[in-house]
Structures are given as structure tokens and as C-alpha cells.
Amino acid sequence: MDNQQKLQQAFTVALGVQPDAVTDSLQYNTIPEWDSTAHMILIAELENVFDVMLDTDDIIDMSSVKQAKVILQKYDINFA
């Protein structure tokens, strides 16, 4: 499983949405499933899947799937 698939799976598990809903344009609070509670579940899922510990600024800044990729790249996780 590549990092793109891992990211998609983490969002799918944390938000309870279909995999095809996880696109770069998906943003925080634009769907009912991605509220503040789900955001913390998502952070925990991403930390678990990618074996990283995100800092507070990164957690706050993670406002979309696209932004999640940018943030994770700071932790040496690359997306093709």
C-alpha cells in the first residue's frame, strides 16, 4: 500500500466516508462527517498509519486532504 492509499484509508476510517470522497479538494467542515471530533480521530489515525507525532500547529493547519499531504511531507512522508 503506497502513501496515497494509506492517506485515503486513514480519512475513510476516521471520517466514515467512501474512499472516492477523499480527494485533494475535501476540506474540513465542508461535510458533516468532518467536524472537530472527527478531526481529532483523523489526526490520531494519521499518526498511527504514518508513525508520526504531529505538532499542534500542523494539527490546526490540516484543513484539507491536500494540506494533509503538505504537512506529512514535513515528516518525510512523500506522495507520488
Q: What is the DSSP string of 29-72?
A: TSSTTSSHHHHHHHHHHHHHHHT----HHHHHH--BHHHHHHHH
Q: What does each of the 80 residues of the chain score in pLDDT, given as a tens digit?
A: 999 999 999 999 999 999 999 999 999 999 999 999 999 999 999 999 999 999 999 999 999 999 999 999 999 999 97
**How many of the other CB atoms lie within 10 Å of CB of 34?**
24
Instruction: Provide the grid cell at 68.
Output: 494533509
The candidate with the shortest Cα–Cα distance to 28, out of 18, 14, 47, is 14
**How many of the other CB atoms lie within 10 Å of CB of 58?**
19
pLDDT at position 80 = 76
> Does the domain spanning 3-15+25-73 belong to CATH 1.10.10.10?
no
Instruction: Give dist(CA 80, CA 5) in Å, integer.
Output: 11
